[in-house]
């Protein structure tokens, strides 16, 4: 059985720009703990919201723009903010 303790990407490889784990410091365990924290934050927010199912479905689908619009009090995860930033840059370049 293989134990993964490091991100498979190294600085300077082809994946650095669009790595699925933008901050790979600390290995897979750190990534797992960060993701678990983000999941828990979303669930905790949903529990206190008037539309928990709608929130969680939107969050699960990764519709970060709708989350920002419909639930402005929810703090988006760092990766989602990066995605929106790239998306908005792309929209500006098209117009």
Give the domain ranges of the chain.
27-94
Q: Name which of 21, 17, 14 is nearest 79 in CA terms.
A: 21
Q: How confident is the model at residue 4 (pLDDT cuts 50, 70, 90)?
A: very low
Report pLDDT for 3: 45
- What pTM was computed for the model? 0.64
Burial of 59 (0-12, 13-18, 19+ CB in 10 A): buried
Read off the pLDDT of residues 24-83 as tens digits, 9 standing for 90 and up: 556 667 778 888 999 999 999 999 999 999 999 999 998 888 999 999 999 988 878 888
Report pLDDT for 26: 61
């Amino acid at each position: 059985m293989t134990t993964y303790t490091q991100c498979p990407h190294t600085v300077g490889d082809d994946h650095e720009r669009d790595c699925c784990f933008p901050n790979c410091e600390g290995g897979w365990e750190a990534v797992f703990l960060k993701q678990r924290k983000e999941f828990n934050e979303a669930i905790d927010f949903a529990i206190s919201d008037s539309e928990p199912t709608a929130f969680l479905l939107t969050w699960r689908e990764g519709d970060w723009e709708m989350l920002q619009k419909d639930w402005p009090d929810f703090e988006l995860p760092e990766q989602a903010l990066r995605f929106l930033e790239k998306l908005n840059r792309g929209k500006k370049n098209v117009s």
